[in-house]
Amino acid sequence: MQCKGEQNPVKKLSYLGGEDEADILLGKILSKTRKPIHMLKLNKMSQYRVDGHPSIYGNPRYKGMDCTHWCLPGVPDTWNQLLYANLI
């Protein structure tokens, strides 16, 4: 996924394909553990926020596109809220 040119969240619900192969494999592995381990699936939710990366669109002094990190506040805050909700 490229974030260049993206300034708004994706609004089209059919935007993403199926489940990631790595998530499917990890789910199978976790289902076989003695103690229950649940995976918090965040990939799809995060992929709708192609605009949430540090870039030239948010800060004019920023010179490049960084599609590997996220702006704060934003997607990581939502991850934290979901994790917290699962813990309590």
- Give the mean model confidence (pLDDT) for residues 70-87: 87
For residues 34 and 53, give the distance between their C-alpha atoms in angstroms, rounded to a whole number.
38
pTM reported for the whole predicted model: 0.61
Domain ranges of the chain: 13-87
Percent residues over pLDDT 90 in the chain: 16
CA angle 9, 12, 16 (to 5 degrees): 90
Q: What digits encode the pLDDT tens for the residues 1-22?
A: 566 777 777 777 765 666 778 8
pLDDT confidence of residue 33: 92
Q: What digits encode the pLDDT tens for the residues 41-53?
A: 887 778 778 777 7
Closest CA relative to residue 26, chosen from 38, 34, 44, 11: 38
Tell me whether residue 13 is exposed, middle or buried, using C-beta atoms within 10 angstroms of its C-beta: 0 to 12, 13 to 18, 19 or more: exposed
pLDDT confidence of residue 16: 65
